[in-house]
Amino acid sequence: MKFRFKATHIVLAMLCAMYFITYVDRVNIGTAASEIQKELDLTNTQLGLIFSAFAYPYLLFQIIGGWVGDHFGPRKTLFWCGMIWAAATIMTGFVAGIVSLFVARVALGFGEGATFPTATRAMQYWTPSDKRGFAQGLTHAFARLGNAATPPLIALLITWVTWRGSFVALGFVSLVWGIAWAWYFRNEPREHAGMTEAELASLPPRPTGPRPPVPWSPLLRRMWPVTLTYFGYGWSLWLYLNWLPLFFKNNFGLNIKNSALFASGVFFAGVVGDSMGGILSDHILKRTGSIRFARLSVIVAGFAGALASLLPILFIHGITVVALCLSAGFFFAELVIGPIWSIPMDIAPKYSGTASGIMNTGSALAAIVSQLVAGFVIDATGNWYLPFLMSMGLLTLGGFSAFMMHPEQPFDEIVVGVPGGKTVAAE
C-alpha cells in the first residue's frame, strides 16, 4: 500500500512552520539585544521601548486582522502577512539607530498581527472539532520550539554573519514560507486537489449562505473574560521571550553563548507544556463531555503551577535553581495555550478569526506594558528579579478570571421578525 501524507496534516505542518518562524522573527531581538544595545548605545529603558514596539501594531491588528482573515480567507491574508514580516525582519539588519530600529519592529508587528487569529480561522475548517485542543497545542508548541531554538541559533549566526546578517538571513526564510503557503493552501478544503472524501467527512461542516456581519457588541461581551485571562498569561510570556537571555547574561555574568543556552533550556520546557496542555484538554473533553471543565481545568492548573514554580526565586538565587524554577514556570504557563486558543472556536465558530483576535489583544497589550515596566524597573533598581516577581500577581489574576469564561455556551445568531430581517446575536 502506497503511503501518502494527508492534506490536513500538511496544512497543519505548514501552520506549525509558520508559528515557529514568526516566533523566531519576533524573539530574535532578545538574544541579539546585548550586541544591539552596545552598538546603538541603548539603556534598558530604551531597550524596553524597542521590545514593546512590536506590540503596538500587533495589538491594533488582532481584531482587525482577525476580521481580515474571516473576510478574505487565510490564504491571501497569511501570504501578505508573510511578505510584510519578512521585509521587516530584513529591514532590521540595516537599521542605523533607535528610530529606525523602532520602525522596523513596528513593521514586524504589523506583519505578524493577523497571523494567529487567521491561523485559527484556517484550523476552524481544516481540523476535526475534537482535535482543536491538540492542533492549537501543537502549533503553539512549535512557537515555543522557535523560542527555544532562537537563542543558540542567533548566537551562532552572530558569530558567522554578525547580528545584522542574522536578521537578513531569517527574513529570507520567511519569504519562502509565504510563497509555499499561497501555492499549497486553499480556504475551502473541498477545493484542494489532495483532499479525500474520508478527510472531508472528518471535518466540521462549512456554513452555507452569505456570511453575516460580525455582531461586535455581543461578541465582545462574551470574549472579554477570555481576553483578561490571556492578559494574565501574556504578561509572563513576553517577559520570558524578550528579557530572559539578558537576565541570564547580566544577572549571572554569562557570555552571550552561555546565556543563550540557559534561555533555550527554559524555552524547551514550554514546548512540552504547549503539547501537553492541548492533549490533556481534548482527553478530558472526550472523557467528561464537558467543554468548560476540559478547558478551565487545564488553564487554572497552568496558572497555579506557574505561580508556585516562581515562588522559590524569592528566596534562592543560585543559577541552577533559578533556571529550574523558570523552566517549571514556563512549562505550567504553556499548559494554558492549547485550551485557551480552542475557546474562540468553541464560543464563536462562525467568527473564530475575529474572536481569537479579540482574545489575543490581551497578550498584545501585555507585550507593551510588561516590556516598558521591565526596562524601567531594571534601570531604576538594578534588580533583574523584580520583573519576574511582578508577573506572579498577573498569574494570580489570570487564574481567577478564567472562572468567568464559558466556552460551553456557543455564540449563535438568530433572525428575528423585524423589518429587513435584521440579524441579532444571541448568547
Percent of the chain with pLDDT over 70: 94
- What whole-number distance in Å separates Cα of residue 317 and Cα of residue 320? 9
Q: Torsion over CA of 365, 367, 373 and 375, rounded to 10 degrees?
A: -150
Q: Where are the domains of the chain?
A: 7-188+232-407
Q: Give the predicted TM-score (pTM) of the model.
A: 0.80
Answer yes or no: is pLDDT of 213 > 90. Answer: no
Q: Residues 242-270: pLDDT tens digits?
A: 899 889 988 898 888 888 889 899 999 98
Query: Strand, helix or coil at 214?
Result: coil
> Model confidence at 5, in pLDDT bands (50, 70, 90)?
confident
Query: How large is the average pLDDT for residues 99-118?
Result: 93
Q: Residues 351-389: pLDDT tens digits?
A: 887 888 899 899 999 999 999 999 999 999 999 999 988
> Model confidence at 207, in pLDDT bands (50, 70, 90)?
low
The CB density around residue 213, as the number of other CB atoms within 10 Å, is 10
Answer yes or no: is pLDDT of 24 > 80. Answer: yes
Which residue(s) pair with 414 in the sheet?
Answer: 424
- Those residues whose C-beta lies under 8 Å from the C-beta of residue 14, and which sit 6 or more positions away, are 177, 180, 181, 184, 185
Percent of the chain with pLDDT over 90: 62
Query: How large is the average pLDDT for residues 127-141?
Result: 83
Query: How large is the average pLDDT for residues 342-353?
Result: 86
**Distance in angstroms between the alpha carbons of the first and the last residue of the chain:** 49
What pLDDT, on the 0 to 100 scale, is given for residue 374? 94
The CB density around residue 32, as the number of other CB atoms within 10 Å, is 25
CATH number of 7-188+232-407: 1.20.1250.20
